[in-house]
Copies of this chain bind each other. A is one copy, B any other.
Amino acid sequence: MRGITKKSRGELIVLSGPSGVGKSTVIAELLSNRRDIHFSVSYTTRSPRVGEADGVNYNFVTREEFERMIANNELLEYAQYVDNYYGTSLKVIQEKLEQGVDVLLDIEVQGAATVREKCPEAVLIFIIPPSLEELSRRLYTRNTDAPEIIAQRLEKARSECKESLMYDYLVVNDTVMSAAQEIQAILEAECCRVHKRAHLVKRIVGE
């Protein structure tokens, strides 16, 4: 940081994007350049898959534990997919933001809508593919899904992209580097927004 405190509070950053768009890779690239960002690990009731670690990919909790968190209003947002809960803990996020630390959430469109409602000052970024053809090519190259699953994913991607218009920013993932660079520029610009620097003006005008 430079001599004067330009920042009064951390940014809450929401990143979404359709399956196959390369979001995880973009996030990894972003976090390697911005080690000061806190990546919020979601809570889930589903079982860990091979290679997944508790506290890294997800915080794995029991259904009882998760429902207790719901009951205690401990979650910023949560959703149920295929009999499992997925959600974001409010407490850690609030602590980090108050410490001036930027917090990154990797959540779906539905969760992003909840964040928008509860935290209007959050910065919502949606990652789109250069085209649906390119997304299709990536899903085929990944070679993990059957053609009918890929077709479903593409249809879901189309409908998610429609929802992207409620976000603040659209980042095109044509290359991982350019997408990560655009997100970094967005975060830098957001720090300069006038209402986030009003305290600097007050100091100058002496009020």
Point out residues on A near B: beta carbons under 8 Å: 2-4, 6, 125-126, 128-132, 157-159, 161-162, 164-165, 167-172, 174, 178, 181-182, 184-186, 188-190, 192-194, 197-198, 200-201, 203-206
Using A2-B178, A189-B190 as known contacts, say yes or no to A131 and B204 having CB atoms under 8 A apart.
Answer: yes
Q: How far is the CB of A140 from chain B (nearest CB, A)?
A: 17
Q: Collect the chain B residues with CB atoms within 8 Å of residue A192's CB.
A: 125, 169-171, 182, 185-186
Does the CB pair A128–B169 fall under 8 Å? no
Does the CB pair A129–B204 fall under 8 Å? yes
Q: Collect the chain B residues with CB atoms within 8 Å of residue A168's CB.
A: 193-194
Q: Collect the chain B residues with CB atoms within 8 Å of residue A174's CB.
A: 2-4
Q: How far is the CB of A53 from chain B (nearest CB, A)?
A: 33
Q: Among A128, A159, A190, A192, which residue has the most Cβ atoms of chain B within 10 A?
A: A192
Using A6-B172, A188-B185 as known contacts, say yes or no to A161 and B194 having CB atoms under 8 A apart.
Answer: no
Q: List 14 A-B contacts (CB under 8 A).
A: A4-B131, A4-B174, A128-B204, A162-B205, A165-B198, A167-B194, A170-B193, A170-B201, A172-B197, A182-B192, A184-B185, A186-B192, A188-B189, A189-B189
Does the CB pair A182–B172 fall under 8 Å? no
Q: Collect the chain B residues with CB atoms within 8 Å of residue A125's CB.
A: 192
Residue from the list B128, B132, B185, B201 in contact with A128, Cβ < 8 A: B201
What is the CA–CA distance of A161 and B188 in the complex, to the nearest angstrom?
21
Q: Collect the chain B residues with CB atoms within 8 Å of residue A132's CB.
A: 204, 206
Q: Collect the chain B residues with CB atoms within 8 Å of residue A181's CB.
A: 188
Which residue of chain B has the shortest Cβ distance to A182 in the bound complex? B192
Q: How far is the CB of A132 from chain B (nearest CB, A)?
A: 5
Does the CB pair B201–A161 fall under 8 Å? yes
Q: How far is the CB of A63 from chain B (nearest CB, A)?
A: 36
